[in-house]
C-alpha cells in the first residue's frame, strides 16, 4: 500500500518526506522546478563523463596495463552512453551497467584513481536508483548531485586548512618552483627576488624554504581555501546561490589554468550549473560534448593536447 501511495503521488515535492532525515536532507539545497530536464541532463553528463574518461585513460599507464579489459570497458561505456542518452525502457539498465563497469574499471586501476571519480560514481548511483517517471525521485537525484558539489568544495577548502600548507603559502611556493603553469599565474604576486629564488631552487634533500616573503602571495593562498568554503556554504542559501554558482565556475576555470585537471573542471562546471537550473546545464551540454570529444581525440593524438585529466 505504501508503494502504491509512492507511485500514485508521483513523488511530488511535498512528498519528499520531510518527516524523515533523508527527506529533510534532499529538500536542500534548493528547489528543483525543472526536475525532468535537470535529471536527463545530469544522466547524459555522467554517462558522457565516465565514457570519455575511460577512452582518455587508454593513454594512462595504470589503465594501459589492464590491456583488453579496459578496452572492453571503453566499448561497453560507449554502448551505455548511446543507450542511456534518450529516455526509454532500457535507460535505467544502461545507467546501471555503466556504473557497474566504471566501478570494476576503477577497482582494477586502484590505487591510480582520481578524486573526482567518486563524484561520477555517486552521481551514477543517484541516477540509476531514481525512477525518471517519479518527480520525487528526479528531485532527490538532482539534490544529491548538488550536494556533491557542496561537499567537494567544502571539504577541499577544509582539507587545505587541516594540512596547513596554504596558511603560509608553502604549497603554492612549492608548485611555483617547478610547475610553469602555476608559476605563470602566481608569479605576478611575487617580488622579483622571491620569484627568482623559488624558480632557481633545484629539488633535493634540504631544498627550501618553499615559502615566499610576499603578503599578496600569502593572501592569495589563503583566499583559495576561504573561497572554496564560502562558495560551498553560499550554495545552500537561495539568496547567495546565484553568486556561488558564478563564483564557483570562475574559481574552477582559474584552477584549470594551473592544475589543468580538465575532466574535473568540466564535471564541476556542469554540476554548478545544475545548482542554478537544469535548463542552464542542458544548454551547456553541446559544449560539454565538444570538450570531452576534444579531450579523447587529443589523447589519441588526433588533436593538440592541453590538459591532463
CA distance 260 to 72: 28
**Does 231 help bind another protein (rule: CB under 8 A)?**
no
Q: Minimum CB separation from another protein for residue 280, in Å? A: 22
Among residues 66, 100, 155, 289, the one that binds another protein under rule CB under 8 A: 155
- Kindly indicate which of the ranges 43-51, 72-80, 141-149, 188-196 contains the residues binding another protein, using the contact rule CB under 8 A: 141-149
Q: DSSP label at 202?
A: P
Ramachandran region of residue 4, left (φ > 0), alpha (ψ -120 to 50) or beta? alpha
Q: Minimum CB separation from another protein for residue 5, in Å? A: 9
**Does 112 help bind another protein (rule: CB under 8 A)?**
yes
Among residues 16, 235, 271, 273, the one that binds another protein under rule CB under 8 A: 16
- Kindly indicate which of the ranges 40-48, 123-131, 244-252, 274-282 contains the residues binding another protein, using the contact rule CB under 8 A: 123-131
**Does 193 help bind another protein (rule: CB under 8 A)?**
no
Supply the DSSP string of the chain, one letter for each residue: -HHHHHHHHTT-GGGS-TTSHHHHHHT-S---TTHHHHHHHHHHHHHHHHHHHHHHGGGSHHHHTTTHHHHHHHHHHHHHHHHHHS-STTHHHHHHHHHHHHHHHHHHHTT---TTHHHHHHHHHHHHHS-TT-HHHHHHHHHHHHHHHHHHHHHHHHHHHHH-TTTSSHHHHHHHHH-HHHHHHHGGGS-HHHHHHHHHPPPSTT--------HHHHHHHHHHHHHHHHHHHHTTSHHHHHHHHHHHHHHHHHHHHHH-BHHHHHHHHHHHHHHH-HHHHHHHHHHHHHHHHHHHHHHTTSS----B-
- Kindly indicate which of the ranges 76-84, 136-144, 268-276, 295-303 contains the residues binding another protein, using the contact rule CB under 8 A: 136-144
Q: Minimum CB separation from another protein for residue 155, in Å? A: 4
Q: Minimum CB separation from another protein for residue 100, in Å? A: 15
**Does 173 help bind another protein (rule: CB under 8 A)?**
yes
Nearer to another protein, 115 or 287 (CB): 115
The count of other CB atoms within 10 Å of the CB of residue 15 is 17
Give the three-state DSSP class for 302.
coil
**Does 226 help bind another protein (rule: CB under 8 A)?**
no
**Does 69 help bind another protein (rule: CB under 8 A)?**
no
CA distance 258 to 228: 16
What is the footprint of another protein within residues 75-94 (CB under 8 A)?
Answer: 92-93
- Kindly indicate which of the ranges 67-75, 116-124, 215-223, 242-250 contains the residues binding another protein, using the contact rule CB under 8 A: 116-124
**Phi/psi of residue 229, each to 5°?**
-70, -45
**Does 248 help bind another protein (rule: CB under 8 A)?**
no
- Kindly indicate which of the ranges 11-19, 73-81, 270-278, 289-297 contains the residues binding another protein, using the contact rule CB under 8 A: 11-19
**Does 197 help bind another protein (rule: CB under 8 A)?**
no
What is the footprint of another protein within residues 203-222 (CB under 8 A)?
Answer: 203-211
**Does 125 help bind another protein (rule: CB under 8 A)?**
yes
Which residues contribute to the site for another protein (CB under 8 A)? Answer: 2-3, 6-7, 9, 11, 15-17, 20-23, 25-26, 62, 92-93, 111-113, 115, 117-118, 122, 125-126, 129-131, 133-134, 136-137, 140-141, 143-144, 147-148, 151-152, 155-156, 158-160, 162-166, 168, 170-171, 173-175, 203-211, 259
Amino acid at each position: 500500500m505504501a508503494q502504491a501511495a509512492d507511485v500514485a503521488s508521483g513523488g511530488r515535492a511535498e512528498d519528499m518526506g520531510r518527516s524523515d532525515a533523508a527527506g529533510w536532507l534532499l529538500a536542500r539545497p534548493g528547489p528543483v522546478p525543472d526536475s525532468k530536464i535537470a535529471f536527463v541532463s545530469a544522466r547524459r553528463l555522467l554517462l558522457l563523463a565516465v565514457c570519455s574518461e575511460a577512452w582518455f585513460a587508454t593513454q594512462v599507464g595504470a589503465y594501459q596495463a589492464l590491456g583488453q579489459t579496459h578496452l572492453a570497458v571503453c566499448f561497453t561505456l560507449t554502448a551505455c552512453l548511446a543507450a542511456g542518452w534518450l529516455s526509454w525502457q532500457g535507460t535505467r539498465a544502461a545507467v546501471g551497467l555503466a556504473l557497474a563497469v566504471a566501478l570494476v574499471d576503477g577497482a582494477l586501476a586502484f590505487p591510480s584513481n582520481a578524486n573526482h571519480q567518486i563524484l561520477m560514481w555517486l552521481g551514477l548511483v543517484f541516477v540509476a536508483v531514481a525512477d525518471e517517471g517519479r518527480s520525487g525521485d528526479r528531485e532527490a537525484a538532482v539534490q544529491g548531485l548538488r550536494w556533491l558539489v557542496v561537499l567537494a568544495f567544502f571539504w577541499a577548502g577544509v582539507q587545505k586548512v587541516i594540512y596547513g600548507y596554504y596558511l603560509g603559502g608553502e604549497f603554492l611556493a612549492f608548485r611555483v618552483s617547478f610547475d610553469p603553469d602555476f608559476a605563470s599565474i602566481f608569479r605576478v604576486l611575487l617580488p622579483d627576488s622571491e620569484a627568482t629564488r623559488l624558480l632557481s631552487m633545484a629539488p633535493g634533500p634540504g631544498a627550501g624554504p618553499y615559502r615566499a616573503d610576499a603578503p599578496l602571495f600569502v593572501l592569495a593562498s589563503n583566499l583559495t581555501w576561504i573561497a572554496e568554503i564560502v562558495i560551498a556554504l553560499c550554495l545552500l542559501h537561495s539568496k547567495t546561490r546565484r553568486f556561488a554558482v558564478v563564483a564557483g565556475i570562475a574559481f574552477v576555470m582559474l584552477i584549470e589554468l594551473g592544475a589543468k585537471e580538465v575532466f574535473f573542471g568540466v564535471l564541476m562546471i556542469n554540476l554548478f550549473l545544475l545548482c542554478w537550473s537544469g535548463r542552464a546545464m542542458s544548454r551547456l551540454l553541446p559544449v560539454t560534448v565538444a570538450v570531452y570529444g576534444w579531450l579523447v581525440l587529443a589523447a589519441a593524438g588526433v588533436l593538440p593536447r592541453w590538459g591532463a585529466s
